[in-house]
Amino acid sequence: PHGLRLEARAGEGVSLTAEFTVRPAHQGAPGLAHGGVLASALDETLGSLNWLLRTIAVTGRLETDFIRPVPVGTTLYLEAEVTAVAGRKIFSTATGRVGGPDGPVAVRADALFVEVKVDHFVDHGRPEEIQAAMNDPDQVRRARAFEVNP
């Protein structure tokens, strides 16, 4: 119930679009979205690109620029694309616009994701959540599908 509820769609190449509506729970300053929530929306959007690459990756760096305030109740129109892949490094960029997909840019981010194996989560995650995930056949199937990716 407290998630961002992003709605993402694959685009051309390794790109996607998404929408995020700023709810009252996302408020920072009175009437405005909290910058950390906006950074999370960008990170989530950028991270979704890794699904298109069929790669398990974690955020290594996220550089965020806040261009204009985003009022509570606003829908943020997000666009993201992979700009380069070098070994285990995945470079990507995203923008968030207000007022529509062609509206003014409110936030933007550049990111570096690093490919990891499933063991990364086993080694560093909470044991009870890992066990729950391992008991979910659908999650196990998805994880194994990623690990066969060259």
pLDDT category at 149 given cuts 50, 70, 90 is very low
- C-alpha span between 14 and 6 (Å, rounded): 18
Higher-pLDDT residue of 74, 141: 74
- C-alpha span between 101 and 98 (Å, rounded): 7
Please name each of the domains of the chain with its CATH number. 7-116 (3.10.129.10), 117-150 (no CATH)
Q: Which of 66, 72, 71, 73 is nearest to 96 (CA)?
A: 66
Token code pair at residue 105 = 């840019």
Q: What is the pLDDT of residues 13-51, one digit of tens each?
A: 899 999 999 999 999 999 999 999 999 999 999 999 998
Average predicted confidence (pLDDT) for the chain: 86
pLDDT category at 4 given cuts 50, 70, 90 is confident
